């Protein structure tokens, strides 16, 4: 299964559309700061599931800042990261992921792509799909019981 991971679209629905067309994913995960963009994307691609969490620029009352999904038998934690202080370090984020038993933690907020594996947890930030000069996104491929992350530059 191929998953498109995006964050910080900040109104760039066109970049979201292009990323979907490039990657042909089975699922899209939007990590905040573009709640409405994710809703517009879902309406443009009605057969494509879009899961989302709110970011610090989204005004979604009652929506949790952290979600835990199971994808291909892997526990995947989604968050924007602002409530877990990701701009100052990843310790709180990793601790939360470990407490929740996550195999992977996906976050945004910093606008910087990041991939690492720490204490057995895949950590992935797709960067900002809404960046005007260097829009980025990420993919997660689930196969053979593994979760393989990659970040990508959205070509113009």
Rounded CA-CA distance 66/31 in Å is 10
Count other Cβ atoms within 10 Å, centred on residue 43.
9
Q: Residue 142: what pLDDT?
A: 96
Query: Is the confidence at residue 29, as pLDDT, over 80?
Result: yes
In order of their start, the domains of the chain are 2-153 (3.60.21.10)
The distance between the two most distant Cα atoms of the chain, rounded to a whole number of Å, is: 40
58: tokens are 């989204």
Local structure of 72: helix, strand or coil: coil
Let me know the angle formed at the C-alpha of 24 by 20 and 29, rounded to the nearest 5 degrees. Answer: 55
Sign of CA dihedral 152, 64, 68, 39: negative
> In percent, how much of the chain has pLDDT > 70?
100
Q: How much is the mean pLDDT over the chain?
A: 97
- pLDDT confidence of residue 108: 98
Q: Which pLDDT value is given to residue 52? A: 97
Q: At what angle do helices 13-23 and 35-44 cross, to 10 degrees?
A: 50
């Amino acid at each position: 299964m191929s998953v498109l991971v995006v964050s910080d679209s900040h109104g760039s629905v066109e970049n979201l559309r292009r990323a979907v067309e490039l990657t042909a994913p089975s699922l899209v995960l939007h990590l905040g700061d573009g709640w409405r963009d994710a809703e517009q994307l879902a309406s443009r691609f009605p057969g494509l599931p879009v899961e989302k969490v709110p970011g610090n620029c989204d005004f979604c009352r009652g929506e949790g800042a952290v979600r835990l999904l199971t994808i291909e038998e892997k526990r995947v934690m989604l968050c924007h990261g602002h409530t877990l202080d990701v701009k100052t370090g990843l310790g709180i984020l990793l601790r939360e992921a470990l407490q929740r038993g996550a195999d992977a933690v996906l976050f945004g907020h910093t606008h910087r792509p990041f991939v690492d594996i720490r204490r057995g947890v895949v950590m992935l930030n797709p960067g900002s799909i809404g960046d005007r000069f260097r829009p980025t996104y990420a993919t997660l491929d689930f196969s053979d019981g593994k979760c393989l992350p990659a970040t990508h530059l959205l070509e113009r």
